[in-house]
């Protein structure tokens, strides 16, 4: 069911920091993959509950690398009648 694989391309936060911004086609490709992964999870009644840039990895260091969604530690399987209540995920602190 689960597959372990080393993703040598780093996370989305690190890659974004390195280039400062993505081109529109590059951003669209990444977002399409993220939404595809989330769609698959939701079809299997899995709610990730900690989606952030650090939990999106690139399989390799190529410019067109496939992304992988990781860290399902906060995830939850829910049925269609159940509401996902409460707050969960990472606390983010921003200092200027």
Catalytic residue among 11, 39, 50, 71: 50
Both tokens of residue 93? Answer: 């602190």
Residue in 89, 51, 26 with CA at minimum distance from that of residue 18: 26
- pLDDT tens for 20-55 read 999 999 999 999 999 999 999 999 999 998 999 999
Q: Contact at 8 Å (CB) between 45 and 80? A: yes
Q: What are phi and psi of 47, to 5 degrees?
A: -110, 120
Query: Who's near 16: CB < 8 A, 6+ residues apart?
Result: 22, 53
Supply 22's token pair. Answer: 């993505």
What is the pLDDT, as a whole number, of residue 34?
96
What is the pLDDT averaged over residues 68-82? 83
Domain 12-77, CATH:
1.10.510.10
Our answer to whether residue 11 is catalytic in this structure is: no
Compute the 3-state secondary structure of the chain and give helix, strand, coil in percent, each to the nearest 5: 30, 10, 55
- The domain spans of the chain are 12-77
What is the value of pTM for the model shown? 0.77
């Amino acid at each position: 069911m689960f597959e372990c694989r080393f993703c040598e391309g780093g996370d989305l936060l690190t890659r974004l920091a390195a280039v400062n911004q993505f081109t529109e086609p590059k951003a669209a490709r990444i977002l399409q993959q993220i939404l595809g992964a989330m769609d698959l999870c939701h079809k299997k009644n899995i709610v990730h509950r900690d989606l952030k840039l650090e939990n999106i990895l690139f399989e390799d260091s190529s410019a067109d690398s496939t992304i992988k969604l990781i860290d399902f530690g906060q995830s939850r399987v829910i049925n269609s009648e159940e509401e996902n209540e409460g707050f969960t995920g990472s606390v983010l602190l921003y200092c200027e």
